[in-house]
A and B are shown apart, each in its own frame.
Chain A
Amino acid sequence: MKKIQNPVENEKKEWQKQKKQQTRKTWLTIFSPVFLLLIWQILAQLNFIDARFFPPPTAIISTFQELLISGELVHHVSISLFRIFAGFFLGVLPGVFLGLCMGLYAPIRHFLSPIVMALMPIPTLALLPIILILFGIGEVSKIVTIAGSVFFPVVINTVAGVMSIDSTYLDVAKNYGASRKDFFFQVAFPGALPVMLEGIQMGQAIALLTIVAAEMMGARSGIGYLIWSSYSAFLLKEMFVGLILISFFGYIFSLMLKMLERKLLPWR
């Protein structure tokens, strides 16, 4: 028997307990990267790891401050972010459009599928020399490289998203006389959206991988260039600043996409 006889009071207690547990979990999530850095710091200070190769986080932080004050960091980060965003949208928008067309119209799908399948396995980075020849060494070539690698997961997931729509929904749309436009915007697009967003998540991750590699190979600016040039000059603290920034942005971007997903799919 429970001591308190008020059932609402009981449920309230239960609810508060669950709320507390939720908060605790959130703290754990936040604490875990801090914990990793702490271990790293201690190991470096106790000389268990070589501080020349793995400088302690405090040293990296002060280098971070120096780079920030000199303005160098802002320059590299902003140019990289610009390339990522431009390339991302240039890959996502045609990917979604083409994916919807392929999913909805069988002739287009049958014609384009083999081409997409054949091109997909080629890493866009392997095409970088050709891209450089075609678009020069300016910004366009980096943006095109990112767009190229974002495009494929988005197309493929959008097609899969359309194909995954239950045929009953298509029947309902037809039975109630949906026009081509209404069918596209009210049934096909929202129906395909969940799987499409998975593709966009993947595209985002690939965009980050690609930018670093592309900037290492053919750029004079950006986070990738910072990493590569610091490494070449054996400035490992600077290199780690670049690496940690990449991981930070990757984390922020996936959080943003998760939030976007919750906004776009309230019905899930």
Chain B
Amino acid sequence: MSQNPKISIRGLTKVFYKKQHSVMALENISLDINEGEFVCFVGPSGCGKTTLLRILAGLESQSSGGFTIKKSGQQRPSQSMVFQEKGVFPWMTVAENIAFGLNMRQLPQSYVKERTNYFLVKTGLSKFADMYPKELSGGMKQRVSIARAFANDPEILLMDEPFGALDEQNRFILQEELLSIWTETKKTILFITHSIDEALYLSDRVVLMSAQPGKIVDEVEIKLPRPRKLHDIRSHPEMTVAFLQIWRHLQGEVQNARQEDERRM
């Protein structure tokens, strides 16, 4: 691990307390992420991935432990989140949605316009700038969500299964576009996914999490050179090994969870 990580998470724990019982959603998460790194989080459903991102996004507070996001000195927000669905305001046009973060920061209108236009072009949304989201497909809406996050120019980007609700075709296209914007902006990205293929294609490193309580149990480095082709992850022998490693982990976790449930009954 590097000496000077962009994000440093130490002993992060989150307990949800409800009447009678509490749920340990995250237990003692410690992790360093480098500047410009693309990290995917994979784990069984309910293992606390969303909770982890929401804590980093300031939408939830941790029960103990902490994290720091290194500032690059400029007037930048520390993070921006891309939500899975419904993250785009239906009452704002595409352009207004993309400009949202910039407008919230009271930046000069000329700058907001310039940046918004840049990302409209970048995500192929120029033609739709003045349309409302109801006229857009699911893939288009996620493009808006991604453009809004990048336009905001944060230190890091948090993405919670942004392509989870898309069909395969659209998912491939958006993954490629995301990689292209990432290559250009060199942002640090934390990305949650259910799809092993997606994790292999996108990330520098895959973090494997265990079912409740959510812990980091393993990491897999993805050394496949960039720019990557989608079929590389099928043809490359190293990728097959990585795929199996992640797959076995997920299988194991799912089985553990099932046994745990049976024991409780």
A-side residues, CB < 8 A to B, are 166, 168-169, 171-172, 174-179, 182, 186-187, 190-191, 193, 265-268
With both beta carbons as reference points, the residue of chain A lying nearest to B152 in the complex is identified as: A176
With both beta carbons as reference points, the residue of chain B lying nearest to A166 in the complex is identified as: B86
**Which of B57, B103, B132 has a CB less than 8 Å from the CB of A175?**
B57
Whether B89 lies near A174 (C-beta < 8 A) is: no
Whether B59 lies near A267 (C-beta < 8 A) is: no
With both beta carbons as reference points, the residue of chain B lying nearest to A182 in the complex is identified as: B104
Whether B59 lies near A171 (C-beta < 8 A) is: yes
Q: How does the 8 Å CB contact mask read for B216-232 relative to A, with 1 for contact and 0 for none?
A: 00000000000000000
**Which of B77, B81, B89, B152 has a CB less than 8 Å from the CB of A169?**
B89
17 extra interchain contacts, Cβ-Cβ under 8 A, other than A176-B148, A267-B91? Answer: A168-B83, A169-B86, A171-B83, A172-B87, A175-B57, A175-B80, A176-B77, A176-B152, A177-B77, A177-B104, A182-B104, A186-B92, A190-B91, A193-B91, A267-B132, A267-B134, A268-B134
Whether A176 lies near B80 (C-beta < 8 A) is: yes
Whether B100 lies near A176 (C-beta < 8 A) is: yes
Q: Is the interface of A mostly helix, strand, loop or mixed?
A: helix
- B101 interfacial contact with A, CB 8 Å: yes
For the complex of A and B, the 8 pairs showing the least CB-CB separation, nearest first, are A267-B132, A190-B91, A176-B101, A168-B86, A267-B91, A175-B81, A176-B104, A178-B104
With both beta carbons as reference points, the residue of chain B lying nearest to A175 in the complex is identified as: B81
- B234 interfacial contact with A, CB 8 Å: no
The A-contacting residues of B in range 53-112, CB under 8 angstroms, are 57-59, 77, 79-81, 83, 85-87, 89-92, 100-101, 103-105
Bound-state Cα–Cα, A168 to B141, Å: 14
B-side residues, CB < 8 A to A, are 57-59, 77, 79-81, 83, 85-87, 89-92, 100-101, 103-105, 132-134, 148, 152
- Give 12 pairs: A residue, B residue, CB < 8 Å, sorted on A: A168-B86, A171-B59, A171-B83, A172-B83, A175-B58, A175-B59, A175-B80, A176-B101, A176-B104, A182-B104, A191-B91, A267-B90
Give the interface centre of B86, B87, B89 by most chain A CB atoms within 10 Å. B89
With both beta carbons as reference points, the residue of chain A lying nearest to B132 in the complex is identified as: A267
Contacts of B132 in A (CB 8 A): 266-267
Bound-state Cα–Cα, A87 to B77, Å: 47
Bound-state Cα–Cα, A182 to B106, Å: 10
With both beta carbons as reference points, the residue of chain A lying nearest to B100 in the complex is identified as: A176
With both beta carbons as reference points, the residue of chain B lying nearest to A264 in the complex is identified as: B91
Bound-state Cα–Cα, A171 to B100, Å: 13
Contacts of A176 in B (CB 8 A): 77, 80, 100-101, 104, 148, 152
Bound-state Cα–Cα, A73 to B197, Å: 77
Contacts of A177 in B (CB 8 A): 77, 101, 104-105
Q: How far is the CB of A97 from chain B (nearest CB, A)?
A: 20
Given contacts A175-B80, A268-B134, contact A168 B100 (CB under 8 A): no
Whether A187 lies near B89 (C-beta < 8 A) is: yes
Bound-state Cα–Cα, A198 to B160, Å: 35
Contacts of B101 in A (CB 8 A): 176-177
Bound-state Cα–Cα, A150 to B148, Å: 40
Bound-state Cα–Cα, A172 to B87, Å: 7
Contacts of B57 in A (CB 8 A): 175
Contacts of B58 in A (CB 8 A): 174-175
Bound-state Cα–Cα, A182 to B103, Å: 9
Contacts of A191 in B (CB 8 A): 91
Contacts of A175 in B (CB 8 A): 57-59, 79-81
Bound-state Cα–Cα, A265 to B105, Å: 26
Bound-state Cα–Cα, A176 to B85, Å: 16
Contacts of B86 in A (CB 8 A): 166, 168-169
Q: How far is the CB of B135 from chain A (nearest CB, A)?
A: 9
Whether B133 lies near A179 (C-beta < 8 A) is: no
Whether B91 lies near A174 (C-beta < 8 A) is: no
Contacts of B133 in A (CB 8 A): 267
Q: How far is the CB of A182 from chain B (nearest CB, A)?
A: 6
Contacts of B83 in A (CB 8 A): 168, 171-172
Contacts of A268 in B (CB 8 A): 134
Bound-state Cα–Cα, A179 to B106, Å: 10
With both beta carbons as reference points, the residue of chain B lying nearest to A173 in the complex is identified as: B104
Q: How far is the CB of B133 from chain A (nearest CB, A)?
A: 7
Bound-state Cα–Cα, A158 to B90, Å: 18
**Which of A168, A187, A190, A266 has a CB less than 8 Å from the CB of B87?**
A168
